[in-house]
Amino acid sequence: MSRVYNFSAGPSMLPEEVLKKAQEEMVEYGTSGMSVMEMSHRSKDYQAIIDEAEALVRELMNVPDNYKVLVLQGGGSTQFAMIPLNLAKKNKKADYVITGQWAKKAAEQAEKYITVNRVASSADKTFSYIPKLDKSAFSDDADYFYICYNNTIYGTRYTSLPDTDKPLIADISSCAMSEVIDVSKFGLLFAGAQKNLGPAGVTLVIVREDLIGDAMDITPIMLNYKTHADNGSMYNTPPTYAIYVLKLVLEWIKSKGGIAELQKINEAKAKILYDFLDSSKLFKGTVVPEDRSLMNAPFVTGDEEMDAKFIAAAKEAGFVNLKGHRTVGGMRASIYNAMPVEGVEKLVAFMKKFEEENA
């Protein structure tokens, strides 16, 4: 057996170099005489690992000094509660743009605690575009403004940010470190690691310091950003091994020249795929060209049987996890940082061949 090209939306492909390094160090890490999994989180060896992970996030994303970098548990779904609980004590109100299932879930969870103003939605066309925003729909007294920067399921992404004077909060789970993002424009950014950053079980949160420390009284200690900010993400035992793999991925990103270099590669990869989709008679992309994601490309043939035939043939050929989300149907190729250019080239070559054979 050999490694496949894995187009999973998440958890997803990791750089093979990272896996091999983790493999090499699994039983004994350096001169510690133990696995990273066995290390006390209070040990010097482990402190060096988590410190290095934070330093690399700061370096790679150019995080300003007045932001905290946290590594938490619970995924994006836990952030959906933490954000209103921590950031909306004052006016108990926030603006949300509904660009897909995850933004919708975030808004629904927020509604348990605050008033949610849905300023726009692209639900009318199965979230196949990013809606234009009308500033008159924004709340004057919102505590924050929430977006999902890249929509994993629907394959859309923001190319310009909402013009708001409120703290801008973004779910960057599926685009973190795949393109340059100006952290200073945001109040808070978060990402489940399991797409571009590492294994499932660790969530990166980057939050402006002035937004920390005014949580609602009902906030559980573990859901208060202050708890984690005050304790270097080690109030309790953190997901130590997942953070270690995150560090290896960050080192890999740095070795590739950083985020700007990866962005060029990601743009090239996306262009290969979208150019083919635009020229194909069999396959077509489901997203309006101007809002297409660099990371997640949904496409269809328009014929469910043909879709199924393609997915099965692709799997047989070593291109796996191409089935689309049930709400979109068809196919979806997630081409995160770890997907090499040749993975996309070979997929497109396979699609061309399939198209010829099924003309």
Q: Indicate which residues carry an active-site annotation.
A: 102, 171, 195
* Window contacting a copy of itself (CB under 8 A); options: 114-122, 153-161, 241-249, 291-299: 241-249
Binding of residue 255 to a copy of itself (CB under 8 A): no
Contact partners, residue 319, CB within 8 Å, separation at least 6: 4, 5, 7, 346, 347, 350
CB of 199 to a copy of itself, least distance (A): 4
Cα 249 from Cα 204, distance rounded (Å): 13
Binding of residue 117 to a copy of itself (CB under 8 A): no
**Shorter beta-carbon distance to a copy of itself: residue 60 or 82:** 82
Candidate list 54, 57, 61, 76; residue touching a copy of itself; CB under 8 A: 76
Candidate list 200, 306, 308, 313; residue touching a copy of itself; CB under 8 A: 200
Sheet of strand 331-334: strand arrangement = 284-285, 296-300, 331-334
CB of 162 to a copy of itself, least distance (A): 26
**Shorter beta-carbon distance to a copy of itself: residue 29 or 129:** 29
CB of 225 to a copy of itself, least distance (A): 14
Binding of residue 74 to a copy of itself (CB under 8 A): yes
Binding of residue 26 to a copy of itself (CB under 8 A): yes
CB of 28 to a copy of itself, least distance (A): 6
Inter-residue contact 188 to 87 (CB < 8 Å): yes
CB of 105 to a copy of itself, least distance (A): 8
φ/ψ (deg, to 5) at 316: -55, -35
Candidate list 48, 55, 221, 312; residue touching a copy of itself; CB under 8 A: 221
**Shorter beta-carbon distance to a copy of itself: residue 184 or 236:** 236
**By rule CB under 8 A, what string of x and - marks binding of each residue 309-338 to a copy of itself?**
---------x-xx-----------------
Binding of residue 237 to a copy of itself (CB under 8 A): yes
Binding of residue 39 to a copy of itself (CB under 8 A): yes
CB of 172 to a copy of itself, least distance (A): 16
Q: Which residue has the tokens 């009318």?
A: 124
Nearest CA to 283 out of 295, 293, 275, 291 is that of 275
Binding of residue 20 to a copy of itself (CB under 8 A): yes
**Shorter beta-carbon distance to a copy of itself: residue 4 or 306:** 4
> How many other CB atoms are found less than 10 A from the CB of residue 128?
20
Q: In whole angstroms, how far apart are CA 242 and each of 71, 115, 210, 246, 340?
A: 10, 35, 28, 6, 23
- The encoded tokens of residue 83 equal 């954000």
Binding site for a copy of itself (CB under 8 A): 1-4, 6, 8-14, 16, 19-20, 22-23, 26-28, 30-35, 37-41, 43, 73-78, 80-81, 85, 109, 112-113, 192, 194, 198-202, 217-218, 220-223, 235-242, 245, 318, 320-321
